[in-house]
Amino acid sequence: MLIDFKNLNMNQLPAGTEFEKKVGAFLEEWFSDEKTVQVQTSGSTGTPKIFEIEKDKMIASAEMTCNFLGLKEGDTALLCLPVEYISGKMMTVRSIIRNLKLIITNPSVKPLENINEEIDFCAMTPLQIENSLDHLHWIKNIIIGGAAVSESLKHKIFDSLGSKGTQKIFETYGMSETLSHIALKQIYPVSESFFTAFENVDISTDEKGCLKIFAPHLNTEVLQTNDLVEIKNNNQFRFLGRIDNVINSGGAKIFPEQLEALVKKEIPNEAVFIGREDESLGQKLILVIEGQKSKEIIDEISKIPFEKSYHRPKEIIFTEKIPRTPNGKVNRIELKNIL
């Protein structure tokens, strides 16, 4: 299904798949007289909830991304993310305000499987990228959100596109409350370490070192996050980990996201560090790996030069499937419950 927003006729939208019907329902909501739309959170860090977002703030967010990427009327975009969430809604809004041609395909882990034409812009999750490496050359500009991009995935992208590709790929930082992302970090063809916040977005930290965001055109209040960061040059920051994911083992604070990035440089599998209750340590550091138990993987992990001795997992567990939320994020809460 393709919608040309320069020549949109709401009465001629085809009623196809269930996903296309959801897109149509959102368009009806968007072009209604209501000043807000409903957005559902993913539930990756707590109970999913639905809240109202003002349309003019979504337009302001869409303009930032379109301007940054240089998108213009008539360019093509691909929607392959659930439209219930802010990620899918914002892809649609960007297409509306810039008069793009929006190709709609059912969200799946292989969204580019049937793509054989050049597309100017697409937003995807790391899992979708992982399963689309042979087709990335069709997309000029890609933003990756929903979860952190692992080091191993970055290497796979370079291996797939080569070091001199013309595509540009960015990792995003944002959440439902910031109306998608407020900062981007290029990972291809240049690999950056720090996110750069958009213009008119002020960043700072609280006493715990967690990021605070003030973007008045998106949210009138200062947004307090649970993300521990290192700030550089006032508008750049490096993500260290979520404070509610911090593992306290024997009095030492461990940031699982940093350890996961280190492990994923060495193994191709999904890997998640969690803390399991322990009488002597408080929390015991556990590494959960997706896939069949493998002596080779265990050997590779044993060679990793962890910075601290307590960064080395006390136990390694293999599981057939690590639970994820509908938009592809690792669901740490459910994983803990399963274990």
Residues 125 and 61 in one domain: yes
Residues 44 and 100 in one domain: yes
Question: Do 215 and 182 meet the contact criterion of CB atoms below 8 Å apart?
Answer: yes
Q: Does residue 227 belong to any structural domain of this protein? A: no
Interatomic CA distance for residues 178 and 218, integer angstroms: 6
Residue that terminates a domain, selected from 198, 213, 228: 198
Beta bridge partners of 231: 237
For residue 287, the domain's CATH number is 3.30.300.30
Distance of alpha carbon 35 from the chain centroid: 27
Tell me the per-residue pLDDT of 236-247, one tens digit each, with 9 for 90 and over.
999 988 898 999
Interatomic CA distance for residues 35 and 52, integer angstroms: 9
Residues 89 and 19 in one domain: yes
Tell me the per-residue pLDDT of 166-186, one tens digit each, with 9 for 90 and over.
899 999 998 777 888 999 999
Residues 150 and 81 in one domain: yes
Tell me the per-residue pLDDT of 74-126, one tens digit each, with 9 for 90 and over.
999 999 999 988 899 999 999 999 999 999 999 999 999 999 999 999 999 99
For residue 67, the domain's CATH number is 3.40.50.12780
Q: Does residue 210 belong to any structural domain of this protein? A: no
Number of compact structural domains in the chain: 2
Q: Does residue 8 belong to any structural domain of this protein? A: yes
Q: Does residue 315 belong to any structural domain of this protein? A: yes
Query: 145, 147, 140, 208: which is closest to 182 by C-alpha?
Result: 145
Q: Which residues form the domain of 141?
A: 2-198
Q: Which residues contact 197 (CB under 8 A, 6 or more apart)?
A: 182, 183, 203, 235, 236, 237
**Average pLDDT of every residue of the chain:** 90
Residues 194 and 253 in one domain: no
Tell me the per-residue pLDDT of 255-288, one tens digit each, with 9 for 90 and over.
999 999 899 888 989 999 999 988 888 999 999 9
